[in-house]
Chain A
Amino acid sequence: MIAEAGLAALWLAAGLAAYQLLLMVLTLRHEIDAGRTMRAVAVAQGALALIAFWALLLAFALSDMSVKLVFENSNSAKPFIYKVAGTWGNHEGSMLMWVTILAVAGAFVALFSRRTGERTLVAALGSQSVLALGFYAFLLIASNPFARLSPAPPDGLGLNPLLQDPGLAFHPPTLYLGYVGLSVAFSLAVGALLTDEVDSRLARAMRPWVLAAWVLLTLGITAGSYWAYYDLGWGGYWFWDPVENASLMPWLAATALLHSLNVLAARGALKAWTMMLVVIAFSMSMVGTFLVRSGILTSVHAFAIDPERGTFLLALLAIYVGAAFTLFAVRGASLKEGSPFELVSRETGLVINNLLLSVILGIVFLGTLYPLFVEALSGEKLSVGASYFNAVAGPLALLLAVLVGIGPLLSWRQERRPIWGRLKLPALLAASALAMTIILAPDIHILPRLGFTVAAFLATASILPLVGRNPLRIPLATWGMVVAHFGIAVALAGMAANAAFTVERLAIAKPGDILGVGPWLVQLEGVTPAAGKNFTALEAELKATRGEAAITLNPQTHYYSDPPTETNESAIRTFWNGQLYTVLGRADSSGGWQLRLWWKPFVTLIWGGGALIAIGGALALAGRTFRRRRRSERDWRERYR
């Protein structure tokens, strides 16, 4: 019964989305006043989509094997949390989740958005419903998540063990929420282009959505990076894998958008550019989903491959983005640019920020798709590795990080005071950091050396906007900016330390052997079998010491039966100054075991920095929302006096 109720809710939601489209066309054509109806329908659509998703969630939680999707992706022996996470660990479920979040976001816009004109809101909700319609159509026509099996099989096939990790429970939903946040910004932009109301009010309406999306994308990328780091057992935090790039590209576009929105909101300038960025940010999130789902590029995320769904996503991408770009080409002429600004001003700083981010985005985009281009043109196969991305994007990212320190010190329109005086302290600290790396670590590569220098500069410069002000009177949004920019410096320092000082040891060890890695001596005590809830395991016992009391680490190899797979579970110990990372490999014929050991000084700063960036975004979001609440209360009071 539950599955049928879910299917019915899905059909009804699709019907309401079609009705929203009709309302939008009528409003734009005949100037009718459909605001109230539109808001109500949007809320109803969100509720129905939520019911459908809830139904699928229940089917998974209760292990209802008569539902085909549950049978194919779940198993009654799985821990409960992975049963629930299995809901979105497959194609149909993840698409249903996509569209549910989309519809619920539409409902939120309908309930809370009071900033744009009513016609723009109707057009935006209409656009949002068109986005949803595509996914409804696919779910209902081509891949029904609620399809039944008769007779019901006794038990399910299971979930890929790599995905049986707490990370999975949160990683995809976080990224999807981020993507959908960008889709709301996209709908608002399309709505405003349709009604010719691209102005600073639109920017303020879009800003919370973009901020929220950006915070979630930052969290998603940071968590995904840590997941790959400890779960894949490769010991790296970023591999420039196509799917990692697919999540980085929307983030880069959203970061640029976040900053250009500030120019549009404060000064009414950069209209055309901001509108284009919105479309690019949204299309990057669709390209990201497409790359993950289609399996068009070889990647560690190959578990999600399905060419048929790829074709469908590509068609949606072409239609949505094509339509938005066409609209932009037609309406762009009527976009009047706002107030002019001088060469040295915060606007210029933000323009440079946007340019650099766009170039980095272009570099990542080219590098990710270059193998496809080459194969299309010459039939040759190649892959683009980390060396290209690091060499080309690295220096630009460092330059950007320097400017991140300077930009916030400039004032709007024209900077009249010389800024170099205020930058003396950061410059001094950067110079001493550079000198220290040259004296203490003369042999490291130039990029990490510059990384330390820039990190020292940015860490100091990012705090300057707070200096000389009463901390209680500084707006939350400014605190957010400072924390996020400081987080960049922290992450940068972690990356530089990881690149410069990581020590790796790969060896075959017999029980009793002692291996050295960095300051550590690691002894293999033995390897013993162990059992888990749905796997069997081999567990190594390692005693590690660096002069103090020894610590024990237990890296494992897991063997799953449903489906038969083997995974390496690393054992990691975190210290204030780094992480000791150990992996147990295979046995060799002479009774030895492959051991992989890393000492990674200060590597945790990378994710700590990522978390700080996200916290900064969240602070800014809270600041903007509370201020908005206060202001809209005042507006209401004035209106009803």
Chain B
Amino acid sequence: MSRGLRMIPIVLLLWLVFGLAWKLIRPADPAIPSQLVEREVPDFALQAAATGALGLRSTDLAGGKPKLLNIFASWCVPCTAEAPVLGELRRRGVTIDAIAVRDTPDALGVFLARNGNPYERIGADPRSEAQIALGSSGVPETFVIDGKGIIRRQYIGALNPSNIPGVLRELEQAR
């Protein structure tokens, strides 16, 4: 066996060790991205989640205009923290639809009265079925959806103020 051949195991080992070390050092990220990014929104038709709100159908998301779809719940603490960011986006002319997961109209009414209501439509998803169909694994999550109902981007966790320019740019590109 030539020397070059005999060096192969060492090279492979170095590769393996560096790969594993990289994985060990990197903080674990438990977020699982949706497989539906760059695909069409799955079919759903949700009742209105709060008194006076509009229900949400998947066809509403393919109305020709890019939108945000926010997955949230009144019982979710990060969603409260996220509310001002959504309010700011609304002020800048962004249309935001929402799915309220495992919520009640009363609790949701209190949440919207306290934190403001940036939403055009709020669909109720009492058994997380639409949420799971979207490939969302928690609340809050936000999807950027283009005018044809194709998911362009998924934000896992609460949006924060530094996300605003990026979200606006993505909505612009989705036009």
Residues on A facing B (Cβ under 8 Å): 272, 276, 279-280, 283, 290, 294, 296, 307, 310-311, 314, 317-318, 321-322, 325-326, 328-329, 332-333, 335, 369, 372-373, 375-376, 380-381
Contacts and interface: CB of A to CB of B under 8 A. Distances in A.
Contacts of A373: 19
Given A329-B3, A372-B19, A381-B33, A296 B24 contact: yes
Contacts of B24: 294, 296, 307, 310-311, 314
Interface of B: 1, 3, 6-7, 9-10, 13-14, 16-17, 19-25, 32-33
Contact of A296 (B10, B23, B32): B23
Contacts of B17: 314, 317-318, 322
Contact of A332 (B6, B13, B33): B6
Contacts of A369: 16, 19
Contacts of A321: 13
B88 to A, nearest CB: 28
Contacts of A272: 1, 6
Contacts of B16: 369
Contact of B13 (A290, A296, A307, A325): A325
Contacts of B32: 381
Q: Is the interface of B mostly helix, strand, loop or mixed?
A: helix
A318 B13 contact: yes
16 contacts: A279-B9, A280-B9, A296-B20, A310-B24, A311-B21, A314-B17, A314-B24, A322-B10, A322-B14, A326-B10, A329-B6, A329-B7, A372-B19, A372-B20, A376-B22, A380-B33
A158 B13 CA distance: 39
A335 B5 CA distance: 14
Contact of A376 (B1, B10, B14, B19): B19
Contacts of A333: 1, 3, 6
Nearest to A276: B9
A373 B64 CA distance: 39
B3 to A, nearest CB: 7
Nearest to B29: A381
A296 B25 CA distance: 10
Nearest to B20: A314
Contacts of A307: 24
Nearest 7 CB-CB pairs, A to B? A329-B6, A318-B17, A325-B9, A332-B6, A325-B10, A272-B1, A310-B24
A317 B12 CA distance: 13
Nearest to B4: A329
A290 B20 contact: yes
Nearest to A272: B1
